[in-house]
Chains A and B, each alone.
Chain A
């Protein structure tokens, strides 16, 4: 029983991690929590669903993930253009980013509501069996895939950030955008790159979450709260910290729900977040971010 809860908790944590990484990427450079990420995930979930449905037989899930990831990149660029570029240009305070991202998120959800209503859509089954056995433990195939994709993305991002010139530029802009500009780094390109990465992550998350649950307008929004808590506990802007915190949250939530019921679980999660902000605001990773919007 304990091991089954642990396995399920890690699986749930993998879902939160996927979202938390999207948060962390944007925060690491732009220093704001991009709440539009939830809306983007929902939009991408619909995109992936209709892409799958457009072909008979449905294309392999990895093709759908790739196509939706590219769609997410274009969506992120578009949102940057309409919502953030002017704020950056005028060097407005961080609160404007926060308000803008929140507004965009609501707009996306409402547009999806108008276009598709609340009717849920279901991705076709990806796997023949929804679980496999490891000894006496039942392990979800979909959750295992989500976990593998989360880890793959983390490795790819770590390599990108630490082994490429673009990564060096991202790190430099993350530390100080103005100084980086004086040293010849085009911070505008770096910011666009960050949005492209976040958009791709939203695309991947959209397909994964849509395939695990079903697709509806507030899919990304409802999952985003947990992803946000994970990114705060992990240390805002830290990719590794976000993933560790997300897994930890998933496990905690699973055990708490089992022993104390589902209704008090969100309270427990927010209390943990509050405790971290009071005792260790830099989060698990130890990196300190000043603007914890």
Chain B
């Protein structure tokens, strides 16, 4: 009897030791258990039209990844949190994911305000973050030009996108002058407007007026009248959807008849929301949106619209999907996919990862942003259907 008790005690002690050893600090994934990743998106804030499909795309990508056997045979668990397009909420979400849930990497939002706040924390916690925060200050230190070690962008930066649009305006539309109308309080808009102005001016174009509005403004007709008086060839818009709708109607109501060009936020459902006829609207697109013959983007968008009962296709579905592909590719190569330091080092060497667009992504180790990725230019036909009209690549 004594012998049995002693054997049981020994076994208990041994197994307790194993159990203690397996549990890591901060609730991180146990060896061989699921790999926990986080997704921080704007689910209820001012950019939720982008954040919700982004979250869906990331979650769907994880689902498909798991169906194909996960990463190194381990399932992936994704936890999505709402940053409400707010830097402080973004920090809270980050801390919950890292400290309480124990994620080892994060899929970031298509927002620069929250992402910029994670730069130091991600370095301290060694948490790689892959996202679509296009402002270059999220990936490289503006003072030193060096990349932040744990921040990675999975699409062309704001500057590159704006250069593409400016190039299109100059070369394809033959514009000699332009005006801008945007909210400088919106980091997304600001990060697009400045490079657009810069590129136009450096390449022979002229900026005749830069008009602005604030979050509190609901009527932009004074700015629109001023733009019409300045008589630009094109007007550049780069805010979120509701502001773009108001800007467009204000410009057309004021009598501006020229092309209105801008960010990918002029994409659907923009055409269905404006009161004026949709004419000569050109905007950036990351994907050849409704082409079923390239990549799996069309399939993703169709499924998203069906599952969420959404009326318009959303490019952000592809953003969420793509960010997971980039992260998963690095984790797959790592000797320990939960080692943030190793995964981050591999992310900086990302090359040839297939995206939903059907093209591949290569990340520049010097900037942590993609190399040689261009942008599509789209417009609307007479029935308000989106169509791709050009592809521009600018470095």
Contacts and interface: CB of A to CB of B under 8 A. Distances in A.
Interface stretch (A38-46, A61-69, A175-183, A257-265): A257-265
Interface in A4-57: 4-5, 8, 11-12, 15
B218 A254 contact: no
Interface in A137-171: 138, 140, 142
Interface in B252-295: 252-255, 269, 272-276
A86 interface: no
Interface stretch (A117-125, A233-241, A276-284): A117-125
B219 A12 contact: yes
Interface string B208-246: 000011101111111101100100000000000110011
Contacts of B49: 118-120
Given A113-B44, A117-B48, A120-B273, A138 B254 contact: yes
A117 B212 contact: no
B242 A4 contact: no
A134 to B, nearest CB: 14
A216 B243 CA distance: 12
A125 B221 contact: no
Given A117-B43, A131-B253, A225-B216, A257 B245 contact: no
B222 A214 contact: no
A243 to B, nearest CB: 18
A8 B223 contact: no
Nearest to A127: B275
A109 B144 CA distance: 44
A262 B223 contact: yes
Interface residues of A, number: 36
Interface in A185-219: 213-214, 216
A69 B269 CA distance: 29
Interface in B31-62: 43-49, 52
Given A117-B44, A122-B245, A262-B217, A130 B253 contact: yes
Nearest to B47: A118
B135 interface: no
Interface in A51-97: none
Contacts, number: 84
A12 B218 CA distance: 10
Given A113-B44, A117-B43, A122-B273, A8 B221 contact: yes
A222 interface: yes
A8 B252 CA distance: 14
A254 B221 contact: yes
B47 to A, nearest CB: 8
Contacts of B274: 122
A106 interface: no
A223 interface: yes
A286 interface: no
B225 A214 contact: no
Given A222-B216, A261-B212, A118 B225 contact: no
A223 B48 contact: no
Given A117-B52, A118-B44, A266 B216 contact: yes
Given A120-B49, A254-B221, A262-B220, 18 more contacts: A8-B219, A12-B221, A15-B219, A118-B49, A119-B48, A122-B269, A125-B275, A131-B253, A213-B218, A214-B273, A216-B242, A222-B216, A253-B219, A253-B222, A257-B223, A262-B213, A263-B214, A266-B214
